[in-house]
């Protein structure tokens, strides 16, 4: 506990500021994302299928374009990159209520998602380049906890304020960016990009082509893609499954129980479990995480209408998530060259496209196969994710490129 208190004092104040900023920006995003369907339907009378396509495009485009902005962030001061991303985040939310075109709303929402992802990537790079190796697992875990708290707090607030105005969640989302801007300006020191570095590495600028040569990064990104397909959108996956084996009433109860257990376990245990992940034990820890995922999925498969079993299975499944989330960041941190941290974390962020694919894959599997086969396929997917981690760890590191 003393070590935890030390993170919020003295030299660690900048770290605390960035953790709080992650929390506030995630609350801002959580205020609106669940209600974009309502907003587009009520304000622009869009068909449900068009809304689903529009939101998917906005989310996917944000992740993809963040790769290039992550690469640019390595070339410039990370403090300025974070501030620019937050200003764009604020501006995007402030503009959406003022435009009168569904196309512009989708465009600005894509920009918001891109700016949020860029901020997330640059923050991880800042942690990676400034913190002692013993602190990194703790801070990555705390950051993941704060983000999950943001996703837990944001939607209920949005549910409340949307009753008064469909535009109010957007204004509140914009306001959540004000305090991070002020705190980062005041408490976070500038950190020059790779173009300001000395030595050989300043002649080598990050590029997608260079990262494609890094086989370890490719394997770890593949693992992130497969892993996020399993746990990145699991609530929606379980909702679809519950409707097939029961009805919408069962789905509502299952999702409520599973999400509640997930939120409690993440907030209560993420830091204390994630801080124990180290470079020397990460392969073993990721193996344990895989086992918890498999056991949790097996529990979901046999839960049926038993809500107690759904809750217990969610607890076991979530422990796997608590290990995988910081573990994946640590894997990439261990291989990212100095001056290319943002680029590598941005490349890994592409793995979250697996979560975007989950609803489609789930729907197809439930249409083609018996319902229980969904969990069999997901078990195979998480085993493949661990296999990709093992291959990546056994792959020789990328040789430094010299001028």
Residues 223 and 95 reside in one and the same domain:
no
Q: Please, which pLDDT band fits residue 190 given cuts at 50, 70 and 90?
A: confident
In a domain, residue 328? The reply is yes
**Distance of alpha carbon 166 from the chain centroid:** 26
Residues 77 and 154 reside in one and the same domain:
yes
In a domain, residue 4? The reply is no
Residues 180 and 283 reside in one and the same domain:
no
Residues 166 and 211 reside in one and the same domain:
no
Helix H, strand E, coil C: the string for the chain is: CHHHHHCCCHHHHHHHHHHHHHHHHHHHHHHHHHHHHHHHHHHHCCCHHHHHHHHHHHHHHHHHHHHHHHHHHCCCCHHHHHHHHHHHHHHHHHHHHHCCCHHHHHHHHHHHHHHHHHHHHHHHHHHHHHCCCCCHHHHHHHHHHHHHHHHHHHHHHHHHHCCCCCCHHHHHHHHCCHHHHHHHHHHCCCCCCHHHCCCHHHHCCCCHHHHHCCHHHHHHHHHHHHHHHHHCCHHHHHHHHHHHHCCHHHHHHHHHHHHHHHHHHHHHHHHHHHCCCCCCCHHHHHHHHHHHHHHHHHHHHHHCCCHHHHHHHHHHHHHHHHHHHHHHHHHHHHHCCCCCHHHHHHHHHHHHHHHHHHHHHHHHHHHHCCCCHHHHHHHHHHHHHHHHHHHHHHCCCCCCCCC
Predicted pLDDT at 313: 93
In a domain, residue 402? The reply is no
**Mean pLDDT within 69-98:** 87
Residues 322 and 183 reside in one and the same domain:
no
pLDDT digits (tens, 9 = 90+) for 384-399: 999 999 999 888 876 5
pLDDT digits (tens, 9 = 90+) for 85-106: 999 999 999 999 999 888 898 8
Mean per-residue pLDDT of the chain: 82
Residues 89 and 120 reside in one and the same domain:
yes
Higher confidence at residue 130 or residue 380? Answer: 380
pLDDT digits (tens, 9 = 90+) for 262-284: 888 888 887 788 778 888 888 99
Give the residue numbers spanning the domain of 93. Answer: 12-193
Residues 237 and 351 reside in one and the same domain:
yes
In a domain, residue 1? The reply is no
User: Of 193, 215, 240, which one is at a domain's C-terminal end?
Assistant: 193
User: Of 193, 222, 245, which one is at a domain's C-terminal end?
Assistant: 193
Share of the chain above pLDDT 90, in %: 26
Residues 269 and 336 reside in one and the same domain:
yes
Given a contact cutoff of 8 angstroms between Cβ atoms, the answer to whether 323 and 386 are in contact is: no
In this structure, the number of other CB atoms found within 10 A of the CB of residue 131 comes to: 18
Residues 210 and 188 reside in one and the same domain:
no
pLDDT over 70 at 52, yes or no: no
Residues 230 and 185 reside in one and the same domain:
no
Residues 148 and 225 reside in one and the same domain:
no
Q: Please, which pLDDT band fits residue 215 given cuts at 50, 70 and 90?
A: confident
> What CATH number has the domain bearing residue 128?
1.20.1250.20
Predicted pLDDT at 8: 53
In a domain, residue 400? The reply is no
Site of tokens 């609350």: 27
In a domain, residue 3? The reply is no
**Mean pLDDT within 136-151:** 84
Lowest-confidence segment of 61-70, 80-89, 115-124 by average pLDDT: 61-70
Domain count, the chain: 2
* Size of the chain, expressed as the number of residues it contains: 403
**Mean pLDDT within 237-253:** 80
Given a contact cutoff of 8 angstroms between Cβ atoms, the answer to whether 100 and 74 are in contact is: no
Predicted pLDDT at 254: 84
Residues 107 and 245 reside in one and the same domain:
no
């Amino acid at each position: 506990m003393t070590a935890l208190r030390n993170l919020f004092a003295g030299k660690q104040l900048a770290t605390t500021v960035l953790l709080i900023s992650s929390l506030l920006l995630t609350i801002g995003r959580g205020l609106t994302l669940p209600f974009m369907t309502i907003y587009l339907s009520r304000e622009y009378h869009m068909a449900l299928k068009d809304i689903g396509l529009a939101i998917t495009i906005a989310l996917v485009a944000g992740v993809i374009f963040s790769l290039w902005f992550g690469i640019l962030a390595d070339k410039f001061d990370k403090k300025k990159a974070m501030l620019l991303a937050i200003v764009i985040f604020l501006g995007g939310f402030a503009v959406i209520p003022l435009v009168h075109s569904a196309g512009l709303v989708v465009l600005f929402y894509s920009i918001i998602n891109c700016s949020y992802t860029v901020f997330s990537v640059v923050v991880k790079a800042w942690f990676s380049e400034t913190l002692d190796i013993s602190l990194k697992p703790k801070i990555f875990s705390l950051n993941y906890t704060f983000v999950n708290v943001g996703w837990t707090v944001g939607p209920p607030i949005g549910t409340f304020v949307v009753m008064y105005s469909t535009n109010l969640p957007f204004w509140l989302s914009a306001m959540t960016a004000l305090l991070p801007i002020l705190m980062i300006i005041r408490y976070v020191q500038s950190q020059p990009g790779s173009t300001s570095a000395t030595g050989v590495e300043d002649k080598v600028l990050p590029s997608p082509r260079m990262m494609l040569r890094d086989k370890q990064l490719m394997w770890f990104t593949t693992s992130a893609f497969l892993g996020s397909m399993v746990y990145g959108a699991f609530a929606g996956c379980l909702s679809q499954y519950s409707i097939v084996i029961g009805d919408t009433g069962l789905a509502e109860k299952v999702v409520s129980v599973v999400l509640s257990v997930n939120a409690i376990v993440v907030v209560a245990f993420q830091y204390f479990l994630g801080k124990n992940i180290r470079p020397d034990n990460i392969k073993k820890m990721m193996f344990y995480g895989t086992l918890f995922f498999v056991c949790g999925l097996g529990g979901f498969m046999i839960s049926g209408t038993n809500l107690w079993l759904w809750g217990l299975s969610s607890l076991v499944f979530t422990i796997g998530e608590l290990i995988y989330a910081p573990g994946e960041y640590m894997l990439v941190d261990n291989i990212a060259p100095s001056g290319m941290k943002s680029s590598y974390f941005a490349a890994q962020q592409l793995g979250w496209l697996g979560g975007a694919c989950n609803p489609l894959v789930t729907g197809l599997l439930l249409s083609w196969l018996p319902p229980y086969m969904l969990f069999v396929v997901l078990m195979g997917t998480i085993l493949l994710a661990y296999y990709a981690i093992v291959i990546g760890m056994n792959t020789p590191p990328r040789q430094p490129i010299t001028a």
